[in-house]
Amino acid sequence: MKLKTDKPLDAILLLGLRLKNGYEPEQELIDRAKIACEIFNKGVAPVIIVCGGRIEENEKTEAEVMHTLLTEMGVSAEHIICEDQSKVTYENILNARAILSQKRPRVAVVTSDYHIRRSLFLCRLHKMKPIGFACRTPDDELKAYRKKMEVRVFIDTLLGFQKPGSTRPKWYLKLSERLTPKK
């Protein structure tokens, strides 16, 4: 992997994924962490911002699980920043942006293949210059479901319904039900 510039980026954003049983990482999250570790070790950026809060009260945060994964892979804790308040991708990016002080930070975004487009779009929306690094996921029913959800959530984003505190009108809730794939 060779970047178009020799100057390091400002940060690597490692985006979270809901935990199994509220505390255990899916293989997909472990694969994301491996990519973040690999590009960090190549000098792409001086820090990794791990993004993800807790969904339920008694769960671990996605950020603390990724922090543990990265330190087990050899990344020093001093190079990891935890963003542990977000519950959705929009908040991941918004909160990571608040951590970065640069006017237009250059970031590497690490997520899954089905999730990379929307993640890069959100970075650009929040005045960042992103480069994407996606882990491949198996072509199975879960990926098909997640790809369909990405379409629905992308529409949500375009309409402004992913912003914290936003409410969806009734007409959109009915449409959203039809766009949401069944598991």
Range of the domain at 95: 11-137
H or E element that contains 47: none
Quote the CA–CA distance of 130 and 9 in Å, as a whole number: 9
pLDDT digits (tens, 9 = 90+) for 130-180: 999 999 998 888 888 888 888 888 888 888 888 888 888 888 888 777 777
**What's the pTM value of the predicted model, to 2 decimals?**
0.88
pLDDT digits (tens, 9 = 90+) for 115-129: 999 999 999 999 999
pLDDT digits (tens, 9 = 90+) for 60-114: 999 999 999 999 999 999 999 999 999 999 999 999 999 998 899 999 999 999 9
Residue 145: inside a domain: yes
State the burial class of residue 143 (Cβ atoms within 10 Å of its Cβ: 0-12, 13-18, 19+): middle
157 shares its domain with 131: no
Give me the half-sphere count of Cα atoms (radius 13 Å) on the Cβ side of residue 20. Answer: 7
pLDDT at 81: 98
Residue 98: inside a domain: yes
Residue 113: inside a domain: yes
Quote the CA–CA distance of 109 and 157 in Å, as a whole number: 18
Residue 3: inside a domain: no
CB 143 within 8 A of CB 137: yes
173 shares its domain with 85: no
36 shares its domain with 73: yes
